Amino acid sequence: MCGLKDAIPIHFKPDGGRFQKTNTVKLIKDTDYSVSFNTKPAMNIAKLMVNGELHRLELVNGKSNDEVSNVRTYKTLFTTKGFELTKSGKRREILIVIELENGVYMKVTLQCKVYAPGDKSHAQWGDKLSMIDMDCSLDPAHNYVTILKEKYL
């Protein structure tokens, strides 16, 4: 995930137990971001919704009918246009719902802080976020993915 203008890297910081999640992703208001999703084993992503808004996905690696490839990569654009700045001591959640093949759903909540465009010193303080690796489980009796572990890298 990175900002499109000047390829601004995304940062995160551990927040311990102060908030609902242990890590906070730092975003800049009114910024467009390129976001990639990898599925391993390779699965088709049918739909992606971010905060209730449907996003167009582009398959960039692994063909949708390719049984050999073990990873499938999709990308989309995400914007923070219209987001309110996050006040000190507060966090906001971004809800991501992914519909995988066969009607299986995955729900991911990102804990974020949104900074003003000129506040790059705070927005870039912390660790650079390359990816969020999630170990998941799919119970055949249900139509949803359970996230067992998240690792911010």
Cα distances from 14 to residues 33, 70, 137, in angstroms, run 21, 31, 25
pLDDT tens-digit series, residues 76-131:
999 999 999 999 999 999 999 999 988 999 999 999 999 999 898 899 999 999 99
pLDDT at 137: 94
Buried b (16+ CB within 10 A) or exposed e, 42-69: bbbbeebebeeeeeebeeeebeeeeeee
Tokens of 122: 């705070």
Could you give the 3-state DSSP secondary structure of residue 98?
strand
Percent above pLDDT 90 for the chain:
76
Could you give the 3-state DSSP secondary structure of residue 118?
coil
- Rg for the chain, CA atoms, rounded: 16
pLDDT tens-digit series, residues 101-115:
889 999 999 999 999
Q: What are the chain's domains?
A: 2-152 (2.60.40.10)
pTM attached to this predicted model: 0.88
